[in-house]
Every structure is written in C-alpha cells, then in structure tokens.
Amino acid sequence: MYRVPSRARWVVFLVVAAVICYFSVFTTPDGGITPTGALGLVGTDKWVHAVGYGGLGAALAGRRTHGRVGGEREALVFAVAGATGYGVVMEIAQLTVPLRHASVADAVADAVGATVAVAVWWTVSRTVARRDEADLRS
C-alpha cells in the first residue's frame, strides 16, 4: 500500500489550518453565504465551520496516527481536541477583529465537524487496513 510521506501530511495540515485562519480572521464575515443551510437545521455558516474543522481534524488524525503501533485512540482524541482547540482560538482571535464576533455556536459546530470527520477517517482507515491485511494473506 502506498503511504503518504510525512512532509506531505504536515503540508496538508498546515494548509488547512492557514485557510481556516484566513477566512476566520482576515475576510469579511459571511460574504454571500445564505442564511439557511442544508436540511434547514442550522445556518450555512455552521455547515462551513463543521466542514472546515472536519478537514482539519482529519488532516491531524492522518498526521498523528500514520504508522503508529498502539496509541491510536489517544492520537484520535488528540486530533479532535486539536481541531476543536484551534476553533476556539480562532473564535477568540475574532474578538480583536472589527466586524467579527466570537460565537459559542461556531465553536460547537467546529467540535461536531472535527468529531464526525475523525470518526469517518478512523472507519475508512481501519477498513483499508483490514483489506490490505487480507490482500497480503492471499
């Protein structure tokens, strides 16, 4: 099975974190985003938060768990906590930016997105690992 080089995994993580920082702190809030999101449950901005921090959580999970023997659970918890913590830092950073405000609901969307994405990442990676083991045995 092809393994993504460590440097590439770091680059992906850093690019995702930088894009989130840019859109959280350096752009006009909610420019052109429709107020009602998918399924009409929450606003589009919450979906954007969930997807963004889901990507960050998955990138961090891939970075932390790649090639590990044991300690996978701790690495996954670290990925969710790291992405969620970064979301909280971005919300606090928004307090210093005109036209921005911090939002607990945004931080919750960040945490939910990170949790769901890391869970999906773990499920897919386990499925691929089992398939690879079965291929090696046959």
Q: What is the pLDDT of residue 7?
A: 81
Selection from 24, 92, 18 nearest residue 59 by Cα: 18
pLDDT at residue 138 is higher than 80: no
Q: What is the pLDDT of residue 9?
A: 82
pLDDT (tens digit per residue) in 110-132: 999 999 999 999 888 888 878 87
pLDDT at residue 29 is higher than 80: no
pTM over 0.75, yes/no: yes
pLDDT at residue 69 is higher than 60: no
Confidence of residue 8 (pLDDT cuts 50, 70, 90): confident
Rounded CA-CA distance 138/123 in Å is 23
Q: Return the top range by mean pLDDT from 22-26, 51-55, 96-100.
A: 51-55
Residue ranges per structural domain of the chain: 6-137
Q: What is the pLDDT of residue 54?
A: 96
Selection from 68, 55, 71 nearest residue 121 by Cα: 55
Q: What contacts 59, CB < 8 A, 6 or more positions away? A: 9, 12, 13, 16
